[in-house]
Amino acid sequence: MPRTIYFDYNATTPLDPGVREAMLPFLEEIWGNPSSVHHVGRKARALLDDARDRAAKFLGAKPSEIIFTCGGTEANNLAIFGTARRLKAKGKHLITSTVEHHAVLHCFDYLEKNEGFSVTRLPVDAEGRVSVDQLKRALRPDTVLVSIMAANNEIGTLQPVSELGAACHERGIIFHTDAVQWFGKEPFENIGQFNAGLVSVCAHKFHGPKGAGLLYIKSPFQPDPIFFGGGHENERRAGTENLPAIIGLVESLEKFVKNPVFMGAKLKPLSDKLVWEIERIEGCEIVSPRLNSLTNTVSFIVRGSDGISLMAGLDMEGICASSGSACSAGSLEPSHVIVALGRKNAANSLVRFSLGRDSSPVEVDFVCSVLPEVIRRAQRHQKPANGL
């Protein structure tokens, strides 16, 4: 079995040992239901309230503006479905972009198909970026929600979210940003920097536990709930709170976001080396932007190959990479992000390397040494278009 080189940090990160230690008491002695009235439940409730206070203080928000969720997907779903349904009497026009995560895109698809909403999907430029001017032109009197991600998970593009949010604010329109890939990678001062009324966060992208996230909701707005069954989270999200995971989320925020765990000074030389070597390989083309992009992300397309063959070849060398969103693992569908860039013919040949805190120059050197042969094997494996 070859050694493992993990270059898929945008998909998930390993749980930090310190975060795990902070969670352990809540998996052992503090096990009560925070909604129970007896002393075991009250102890859990007090610590849940403390976690919410800590999260709010860290984000620069009010405790009442924090809803704990089971992750980024639920946070996005709550933001989009909850806002659209709450404001449908005011208008039924929604705006998103063509490069969003499927946890956003599929929500808009559903609302358009099943609930009578009209959706504008903004195009992007050759680097995957949304134009502020195009957004302004797309806004209508009946627009009630705009959702644009902060950082793209597949190619790393940073969106001008502050400017996009300001354009929405000027018109009194709710702006949501999926900031799942931002936290722990890009500078963070406070939640106000996004100019967003709704912000999605996910713990396992910055060395917290899976199954934990939050949605920031700027008061006084409250979206309609999408879960029903109890008065949890101040009647905004039914379901017994996952206290160990929530503690892990808050601990990860405090440890790894203001001082980003994905250190640009360390990762940029590694990413630059990968880019330089990949550009020397015939048939390869970098699609990650050179500027205004996640430092840890290097994505490229390979002419005459496909993602499945490339992933299999890398895995045989012990290299963990991705051919798109982790939530599409095993899918044969081409990358919708590459399609949005106008590269439909190459959309099934995307490779994403996403580095992290444990990535090393030795690992990058090894990847660079085997990558040309991995690509040549994948290209030979690819059948001609006519199947002959």
Give all domains of the chain, ordered by start, each with its CATH number. Answer: 5-13+261-381 (3.90.1150.10), 17-256 (3.40.640.10)
| pLDDT of 316 | 95
Amino acid at 206: F
For residues 86 and 147, what is the distance between their CA atoms, to the nearest angstrom?
16
- Return the residue matching tokens 């790393």: 156
What type of residue sits at position 116? G
Q: What is the pTM assigned to this prediction?
A: 0.94
Rg (CA), the chain: 21
Task: Give the tens place of pLDDT for each residue, 94-143.
Answer: 999 999 999 999 999 999 999 999 999 999 999 999 999 999 999 999 99
For residue 388, count CB atoms less than 10 angstroms from its CB and return exposed for 0-12, middle for 13-18, buried for 19 or more: exposed
The pLDDT of residue 387 is: 41
Determine whether 327 is an active site residue.
yes
Paired tokens of 268: 């940029």
Among residues 70, 202, 284, 327, the one annotated as catalytic is: 327
- Give 262's contacts (C-beta < 8 A, 6+ positions apart): 9, 184, 185, 206, 294, 295, 296, 355, 356, 357
pLDDT above 60 (res 332): no
Task: Say how far residue 284 (Cα) sits from the centre of its chain.
Answer: 26
For residue 153, which of 211, 99, 72 has the smallest C-alpha distance?
99
Tokens of 140: 């209508």
- The pLDDT of residue 385: 46
- Name the one residue in this structure whose structure tokens are 């928000």: 61
Asked whether the beta carbons of 183 and 13 are under 8 A apart, the reply is no
**pLDDT over 60 at 326, yes or no:** no
Going by C-alpha positions, the residue among 251, 315, 269 that lies closest to residue 4 is 315
